[in-house]
Amino acid sequence: MSEPLWRTGRWSDEHVELFVGNLLRWGVIIAAAVTVVGGALFLSLHGGRIADYHVFHGQPDALKSVSNVVANALRFQPEAVIQLGLLLLIATPIARVALSLLAFVKQHDRTYIVVTAIVLGLLLYSLTGAGA
């Protein structure tokens, strides 16, 4: 294996693959852990409640924006903690594409810079709901 990235400052393909692999692995682990904690909180508070499927209850306004989800998750509101875990799971592959773009910029690989920038742009465009 070559020298570590922090020592050489060069972004070799091996460094990028290792870093991206760790990013994906830890992103999914953290997202799953947050979701499990939220599920446990939810069950501890509402586990004995009988579900009422006759009336549809939409998503509360407190869970419709990222800032509200984070604020309510910090207050340990179970639904917000679960939602935060799902947001982290969605953010993981987006962070992977952003990291890849950074790596291609450091490697001066113009073709992959353009392709990855387009992919990242499309991902962000679709998530903001700009096309809806």
CB 81 within 8 A of CB 73: yes
Here the tokens at position 9 are: 């400052």
Q: Residue 5 domain-assigned?
A: no
Task: Report how far apart the first and last C-alpha atoms of the chain are (Å, whole number).
Answer: 47
Q: Give the number of domains in the chain.
A: 1
Q: Residue 116 domain-assigned?
A: yes
Q: Residue 2 domain-assigned?
A: no
pLDDT (0 to 100) of residue 9: 65
C-alpha 19/C-alpha 4 separation (Å) is: 11
Kindly provide the residue ranges of all beta strands, DSSP E only, lying in the chain, ordered along the sequence.
none
Q: Residue 55 domain-assigned?
A: no
Q: Please write the tens of the pLDDT for every residue from 33-79.
A: 999 999 999 999 988 888 777 888 788 888 888 899 999 999 999 99
Question: 93-115 burial string, b = 16+ CB within 10 Å, else e?
Answer: eeebbbbbbebbeeeeeeeebee
* Residue 26 belongs to domain spanning: 11-49+60-128
C-alpha 96/C-alpha 22 separation (Å) is: 10
Q: Residue 98 domain-assigned?
A: yes
Q: Residue 54 domain-assigned?
A: no
C-alpha 44/C-alpha 30 separation (Å) is: 21
pLDDT band at residue 3 using 50, 70 and 90 as cut-offs: low
Q: Residue 1 domain-assigned?
A: no
